[in-house]
Amino acid sequence: RLTVDIHQAARQGGFFICMNTDRYLGIQYVDRGRTETEADCWQLYRLIMRNERGIDLPSYDDRYATANDGISVDALIASELRYWQPVSEPQLYDLLIFRVAGNESHCGMALDASEFIHIFKGCNVAIESRHNRRWRNRGAGIYRYVHPA
């Protein structure tokens, strides 16, 4: 049985795509973490894309020294958006970019039109509404992955 607190679903192409988020909730935040148990926000996104969709995204671990370097992370995101199609309404697996400390330097994965899963220093993996007080004014973009040719 699918329940909202365990599974998130998005209607796409006449059928439901479901994802069990439980397997990701125990991951610990580690700056530039690149394992199944320790991750930063990009690694969590990569991990889910690999596990759920079979898509291996680059780690970019050589492109920024620390996740706290918002300027470098912001520049990295801007340089890689050619592989992503901007969309107005998120669906499951879409990349959400957020402004933190003035930089577009945090990402999460859409679970549906309002909720997303992400990892952040001090909170580990969390599922939140992008419309809540913390995130509603920080949204900087919604993107869908487009496979490179």
Cα(106)–Cα(94) distance, integer angstroms:
14
Q: What string of pLDDT tens digits covers the 149 residues of the chain?
A: 232 333 344 444 444 567 788 899 999 999 899 999 999 999 999 999 999 999 999 998 888 888 887 788 888 888 888 889 999 999 999 999 999 988 888 999 999 999 999 998 888 899 999 999 999 999 999 999 987 65
Instruction: Map residue 70 onto helix, strand or coil.
Output: helix
Residue 141 makes CB contacts below 8 A (sequence gap 6+) with 86, 96, 97, 104
pTM across the whole model: 0.85
Of the candidates 74, 20, 17, 10, the one whose C-alpha atom is nearest the C-alpha of residue 42 is: 74
Cα(29)–Cα(18) distance, integer angstroms:
25
